[in-house]
Structure 1
Amino acid sequence: MTSADSALSPPTRVWRWDDFVLDVGCYELRRGDTVIRVEPQVFDVLAHLVGNHGRFVSKEELFDTVWGGRFVGEAALTSRIKAVRRALGDDGEAQRYIRTVRGRGYQFVGRLLDDGTAPAPADASELVPEPPRQHIAFTRAADGVRLAYGVSGDGRPLVRAANWMTHLGYDIESPVWRHWVRDMSLRHKFVRYDERGCGLSDWEVGAFTFDDWVTDLESVVEAVGLERFPLLGVSQGGAVAVAYAARHPDRVTRLVLCGAYARGRVVRAMNDDEKRAAALDLDLARVGWGRDDPAFRQVFAAQFLPDGTRADWAAFDQLQRRTTSPENAVRFLEEFAHIDVRDQCGQVRCPTLILHSRDDHRVPMRYGEELAALIPDARLVALSSNNHLLTGAEPAWRVFCDEVETFLAV
C-alpha cells in the first residue's frame, strides 16, 4: 500500500548570488533590502534548483519535490519557472539564472557567492540545530486519497494525529513546527502525516469529514506497521486522537493532548456573540487565503501565536499559504467547528495527559479542563503561555517536553 518515495531534508540554507539572498529558513527571497514576494510553490521550485545548483534537475524530480508527486500538468511547472525568472529579472531568452535543459528539466546557473551555509549567529544560544533526518512515503486512505507520512528519529514509536496546517517537507525547517519534529524525534520514532487536503497529501479530495480524518490515521498506522503506541494530538488533532483511541483501545498505550478540545466552535457557541465569532472565522478564511494580503491571515497568527515575534508571525503566514488552498482552508474550519467527541472521551481507556496553555487565545483553557473531566484517568497540566501553538523559545515548551517524556517513560 505504500510507495518507496523518500526525502532527506538538508540543513537550513542561506544562498547568495549577485544582489539576491534566498533564505530558506526564513522563507524569503530578497534583493538588497527588498523582500520579493513569490507564491509558495514558486519559492519551492527556486529553492530546489538553487540547492541543487551543481546539476540539472529533472521535471519529474520537481513534481515529486514541490507537488509531492501529485498529478499536475506540465503547464503548472512551466508557469512556476516563468514566475521564478520574473522574480529574478530573468526570462526564457536570457536564461541568466535558470537554464532550460530542453525536454528534460532546469538548472540554476547563477554564480553563488558562498557555499550556502547559513552564517552562525553572533550569540551561540541562537543556533538552530540541524533538523533530524526523515523518511517521507505515501499510502492510500480507504477511499483512495493519497496520504503523505513522515518518520524521523529512533526509539519507541510516537504517533501524532494530523492537525491543520502542516507540510512534511517544510515543517522540519519551519519555525512554527521544527522544534516539535526535532524534540519529539530525539527519543522516539516519530510518525506524523499531512491530513487530506493539506501539505504533501492530496488536496483535491471529495470527502472531507471528521470520520475521514480518523480513518486516515488508521491507514497511516497500518502503513507504518505499528501494533501498540502512544498517540499525540495537537489542537483539532486532539479530537481525532480521542476518537481513534476510543475506537482502538488495544492499540493506544497512552494519549497526549495539547491545545485540544472536545467541541468545535459552533457546537460550543452558547450565545450570539460566540456564534458570530465562529462565523467570522470562516469569513476571514474565505478572504484571507484568497488574497495576497497578510493582514487578514495575521488575524489567525494573533490567535495562534499572540506572544510570537514578528518573525514567528511571518513564518505562520507562510505556513498558512503554503500548506493548503483557500477553498480547503474554509472546508477545514467548517468541519472543525462541528467537532463533538464528548461521547468518545468517556470511552478512552488509556492513561491521558492533557497540556493546555493557561491563556490560550484560540482555544481557551476551559475546554482543556472539559477534556480532563470527560476522559477517565486524565491528568491536566496548565502551561504558562498565551500561545495556542507553543514556540520553541518559550519556557512552556521545555515544560511540555519534560511532562511528555516523563509521562511516556512509565
Structure 2
Amino acid sequence: MSSAETDPSSPAPTPPRSWRFDDFVLDTARYELRRGDTVIRVEPQVFDVLTQLIAHHERFVSKEELFASVWGGRFVGEAALTSRIKAARHALGDDGESQRYIRTVRGRGYQFVGTLHAEPVLVPPPPEPEPELPRQHIAFCRAADGVRLAYAVAGEGLPLVRAANWMTHLGYDIESPVWRHWVRDMSLRHKFIRYDERGCGLSDWEAGDFSFEDWVADLETVVEALGLERFPLLGVSQGAAVAVAYAARHPDRVAALVLSGAYARGRFVRAMTEDERRAAALDLDLARVGWGRDDPAFRQVFAAQFIPDGTRADWAAFDQLQRRTTSPENAVRFLEQFARIDVRDEASQVRCPTLILHSRDDHRVPMRYGEELAALIPESRLVALSSNNHLLTGTEPAWRVFCDEVEAFLAV
C-alpha cells in the first residue's frame, strides 16, 4: 500500500454530501455554501478548508492535515491557511473572538464547533452527456508584416467573428474548460470564426511588432482572408477594444457589436491614484517572475482575478491555458500593451447596434468600466450579469443568460 493509504494524516477524499447547521448548508455536490436561498461566494480553497473542518467535526483538524488536503502537501506559508480560516469565518458571520463555528486549537489546528443537523447524503444524478463539440477547420493567413495568423471556423449559418483576445489556442480551446463552451454555444447557430492573435496559440509567437494597431490590422487580415462582407463582431476582454476600433473604422462591415468584460481604457490609462498605478505594475511583475515557473502560485493570481468563482478544476485549467498559449516574454508584452489601451474616441464613433454584457462583480475589470464604455457608444445597451467572473464559466447561470441575450440581440 502507498504511504497515503496508511498515513492517518492524509485524509481520504470527502464524498459528495451536504451538512446543515443553523440556517447554513454546505453542499459539496454543488460546491456551494448557502444561507437560506442565498449562495455565499467563497474561493475554492476557503470552501475546501471549511469542508475538511465540518467533515471531521468530531475532532480538531491539524494544520498539517489541512495543508495536505487543501494544498496537496505543497509548501505554503502558514499565513495562507490563516487567511482562508479568516475568510471562512467571515462567510459564516463568525470571527476570531466569538469562534461560534470555527475554534482555534492554539498551535495545533482548528475545529468546527457548530451544531450539525442530520442531512441526507446527496447522491448526485449522473452527469448529462457533454454536447458534442463542433468540428472546426483551422487555416492560416499572413499579416502585412509577414506574421502568420491562425484562424478557425466552426458551425454553420451566418458568420459571427470573435476579435482575438489574450490566452487562446485554436488547437486546445475546443477542449479546454475555459473556452470550450464559448466555441460550442457560439457555433450552434452561427459560423463561428475566431483566431489566435500574434504571439499566442497557433499564430506566430515571434512577432516584432506587438501594438494595438497590429491587433486591429490582424483582424482586418483575417476578415479579408475569409472574404467576409458584413457580419456581427464579438469582443471579449481586451479583444472588445479591438472590436470597438474595428467597428468604428469599418462601419460598412460590422452589422452588430457584442462586447463582454469590456473596457475603453487600460489599467495604466485609467489609473488615477498611486495605489492603482502600483496594482497595474504588479500585473507585469507577476508575469515576469512567475509565468514560466513550475510553481503555479504566481499564475493563480490571474486565475483568482479572471474566474474567482471557478472550482479548483477551473483554476487548474486556467493555469494550464496560461502555460500553453504563450511565452513568459510575450505575456509581459501583452500586459504592457493592454495597460495602454484607450479607445474612447473610437467608441464614440461606433454606429452599429451594440450589446455590452458585464459581470456585476467582475474582479478583473470592475463594472464601472463597462458602464463607462456603454456611455461612450451611442445607443448601446448594457446588461449586468450576476457573476464575479471576468471570463464566464460554462456551468454558472450567468453563462446561459449571456447566450440568451446574445441570440436575442443577433436575431433582431
TM-score of the superposition, structure 2-length normalised? 0.70
Tell me the equivalent position of 1:129: 131
Long gaps (5+) in structure 2: 1-12, 14-122
1:179 paired with 2:190, answer no
Tell me the equivalent position of 1:292: 294
Counterpart pick for 1:389 among 383, 391, 411: 391
Tell me the equivalent position of 1:408: 410
User: Which residue identity is paired with 2:392?
Assistant: L
Long gaps (5+) in structure 1: 1-32, 34-120
Tell me the equivalent position of 2:201: 199
What SS class does the counterpart of residue 127 from structure 2 fall into? helix
User: Which residue identity is paired with 2:184?
Assistant: R
1:365 paired with 2:367, answer yes
What SS class does the counterpart of residue 125 from structure 1 fall into? coil
Give the Cα separation in 2 of the matches to 1:211 and 1:123: 50
Give the Cα separation in 2 of the matches to 1:207 and 1:276: 26
Rg comparison, structure with higher value: 2
Give the Cα separation in 2 of the matches to 1:132 and 1:156: 16
Report the alpha carbon displacement of residue 122 of structure 1 after superposing the two structures with TM: 7.6
Question: Where do residues 310-329 of structure 1 align in structure 2 (5 Å cutoff)?
Answer: 310-329=312-331
User: Which residue identity is paired with 1:289?
Assistant: W
Report the alpha carbon displacement of residue 123 of structure 1 after superposing the two structures with TM: 3.9
What SS class does the counterpart of residue 209 from structure 2 fall into? coil
What SS class does the counterpart of residue 404 from structure 2 fall into? helix
Aligned residue pairs total 291
Tell me the equivalent position of 1:259: 261
Tell me the equivalent position of 2:343: 341
Report the alpha carbon displacement of residue 130 of structure 1 after superposing the two structures with TM: 2.4
CA contact (8 A) 2:359 2:384 kept: yes
Question: Where do residues 9-408 of structure 1 align in structure 2 (5 Å cutoff)?
Answer: 123-408=125-410
Tell me the equivalent position of 2:67: none
User: Which residue identity is paired with 2:160?
Assistant: L
User: Which residue identity is paired with 1:195?
Assistant: E
Give the Cα separation in 2 of the matches to 1:234 and 1:125: 29
Report the alpha carbon displacement of residue 142 of structure 1 after superposing the two structures with TM: 1.3
What SS class does the counterpart of residue 257 from structure 1 fall into? strand
Q: Deviation per CA, 1:291-319, whole angstroms, max 9, x where unpaired? A: 11100000000000000000000000000
Report the alpha carbon displacement of residue 125 of structure 1 after superposing the two structures with TM: 3.5
Report the alpha carbon displacement of residue 191 of structure 1 after superposing the two structures with TM: 0.2
CA contact (8 A) 2:178 2:318 kept: yes
CA contact (8 A) 2:161 2:233 kept: yes
CA contact (8 A) 2:292 2:323 kept: no
Q: Deviation per CA, 1:52-94, whole angstroms, max 9, x where unpaired? A: xxxxxxxxxxxxxxxxxxxxxxxxxxxxxxxxxxxxxxxxxxx
Report the alpha carbon displacement of residue 173 of structure 1 after superposing the two structures with TM: 0.2
Give the Cα separation in 2 of the matches to 1:191 and 1:123: 35
What SS class does the counterpart of residue 157 from structure 1 fall into? strand
User: Which residue identity is paired with 1:244?
Assistant: Y
Query: Which runs of at least 4 in structure 1 moved beyond 3 Å after TM superposition?
Result: 121-126
Give the Cα separation in 1 of the matches to 2:213 and 2:224: 17
Tell me the equivalent position of 1:9: none
Identical counterparts, % of pairs: 86
Give the Cα separation in 2 of the matches to 1:388 and 1:197: 22
User: Which residue identity is paired with 1:153?
Assistant: G
